[in-house]
């Protein structure tokens, strides 16, 4: 794995290389919430003056961030369970 190269497929994959549904949905929901927030700010400043779009888009970004966080929490718990099943000695081995 070359760290200097950007790969879009790695954004949506777990630690074991499988594609993650929560990552895909989390990124899509966060992006749509961010776009909605920007359009809501434009609407608030120049068009109707309604704040409803901005508050709903903040909720969307929160849901997307939660989905991405759940993916990280799940993968770290899975790594902790796998590390407890090793027969390696703890410490420096003395």
pLDDT in tens, 36-92: 889 888 888 888 877 888 888 888 888 888 888 887 776 666 655 555 555 555 555
pLDDT at 84 (0 to 100): 53
pLDDT at 94 over 60: no
3-state secondary structure of 64: helix
* Domain ranges (residues) in the chain: 19-75
- How far apart are alpha carbons 16 and 40 in whole angstroms? 39
- Quick check: pTM over 0.75? no
CA 77 vs CA 48, 64, 83: distances in Å:
47, 20, 10
């Amino acid at each position: 794995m070359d760290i200097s190269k950007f790969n879009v497929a790695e954004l949506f994959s777990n630690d074991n290389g499988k594609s993650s549904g929560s990552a895909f949905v989390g990124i899509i929901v966060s992006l749509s919430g961010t776009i909605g927030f920007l359009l809501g700010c434009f609407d608030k400043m120049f068009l109707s003056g309604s704040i409803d779009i901005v508050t709903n888009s903040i909720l969307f970004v929160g849901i997307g961030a939660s989905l991405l966080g759940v993916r990280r929490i799940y993968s770290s718990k899975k790594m902790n369970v796998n590390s407890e099943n090793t027969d390696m000695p703890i410490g420096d081995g003395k």
